[in-house]
Amino acid sequence: MRRFLIGKSARDLVCSVSDMLQDYYGPDIWGQALYEDILAYVTKHVKPEESYNIVIDDWRRVLESNYLIKQNTFNIIKVYLDKEGKKSKASKGSSHYEGQIKPEDCDIVFTYTKDYSNFDELIGLIQNAIK
């Protein structure tokens, strides 16, 4: 394990395992898992007469987004997050996921300040989108 991580980030390891599972179970595995988790939560906690929204921030994989949209079960609010002055480059393992989801694909586009002091502004934008 340690040899694998030399020169690679922990995120690279997660991406490699994720890719392996996707290769084995199919490209929709993560979309299916997300859908089933949301469905289980809604079934347990939301009364049938209540309305609800699903907010997912910082999307990484377009396959997950497409899967949920295809199911047409939930009102999904997609949030694109960025950070002021962000200059970090995606690691080799995650570079093929970064940038798949574009700001124009999302309902809310938000840029955090360097110290995240504008978090309440993001919450306000999400609350307005839900109304």
Q: Could you count the other beta carbons within 10 Å of the beta carbon of residue 19?
A: 13
Euclidean distance between CA atoms 71 and 120, whole angstroms = 31
Q: How confident is the model at residue 12 (pLDDT cuts 50, 70, 90)?
A: confident
Percent of the chain having pLDDT more than 90?
A: 34
Q: Which residue has the higher pLDDT, 31 or 92?
A: 31
What pTM was estimated for this model as a whole?
0.73
Tell me whether residue 102 is exposed, middle or buried, using C-beta atoms within 10 angstroms of its C-beta: 0 to 12, 13 to 18, 19 or more. Answer: exposed
Q: How confident is the model at residue 3 (pLDDT cuts 50, 70, 90)?
A: low
